[in-house]
Amino acid sequence: MFDGVALRARLTGVRDRIARAAGRAGRDPASIRLIAVSKTFSVDHVRAVADGGQVDFGENKVQEALHKIAQTADLQLRWHLIGHVQSNKARKAAAEFHTIHSIDSRALLLKIDEAAGAAHHPVDVLIQVDLANEATKHGATPDQVDGILEAAQPLRATRLRGLMLLPPAGDDPEEARPYFRRLRDLRDEFVARGADRPSLGELSMGMSHDFEVAVEEGATLVRVGTAIFGDRPYV
């Protein structure tokens, strides 16, 4: 079992650290939204953290998330899909999530838009960018982002909100800083070249070990699992 009081204390600790990082960067802490990444943890864990005032939750697998979404339907939670969307899960994802962070192709974007339209459920989306050219990882290269931006413009059921980054894993949070900075610069370049600013307002970057660095570099959405819920059981 778990200790809800301890979970909420860790939640408060993470919130405080976000506020201090925002302060160092001269940013308003209210401009940063914390997403509690509950993957592998139970519905009871989600409820305990929601009791602490947490509204945004993240999951990386559609099937696992659908169960938790259904079991917490009485709470007004916002669910974020932060993992790769398999084509055959696009329909369910579009109908159930508030935000999908992992759009990495035109084809996936169009599929999500069609499904969101059919479900009469508008969905916010972010483009996941691969800045490290990691062949094993998902994400659009900066060149491909252009085409996705263009494809997003006329869509009605999906609203593009920004960019998402999962940098290469490293032990030192400072190793992630250049990637965070690059994502922000890339966004600024797209806006300078005419992209609509509100559709690129969000930067989803930063996890348990590096979210403070991400906040210093402009993150508006941080995805934190372990620092709130504890170590994940390996599944």
Ligand X SMILES: *Cc1c(COP(=O)(O)O)cnc(C)c1O
> Applying CB under 6 A, does 111 fall inside the site for ligand X?
no
Nearest CA among 158, 32, 43 for reference residue 99:
158
The piece of 25-33, 175-183, 212-220, 224-232 that touches ligand X (CB under 6 A) is 224-232
> Applying CB under 6 A, does 207 fall inside the site for ligand X?
yes
CA distances (Å), origin 140, targets 86, 123, 209: 15, 20, 24
> Applying CB under 6 A, does 39 fall inside the site for ligand X?
yes
**Structure tokens given for 140:** 């659009």
Q: Find how far residue 66's CA is from the centre of its chain.
A: 17
Q: How far is the CB of 187 from ligand X (least distance, A)?
A: 18
CB 205, CB 216: distance < 8 Å: no
Residues 130-169 that bind ligand X (CB under 6 A): 166
Q: How many residues of this chain interact with ligand X, rule: CB under 6 A?
A: 13
> Applying CB under 6 A, does 80 fall inside the site for ligand X?
no
The piece of 1-9, 15-23, 92-100, 223-231 that touches ligand X (CB under 6 A) is 223-231
> Applying CB under 6 A, does 93 fall inside the site for ligand X?
no
Q: What is the largest CA-CA distance in the chain?
A: 52
Number of H helices, E strands in the chain: 9, 8
- Which positions lie near ligand X, rule CB under 6 A? 37, 39, 60, 82-83, 166, 207-208, 223-227
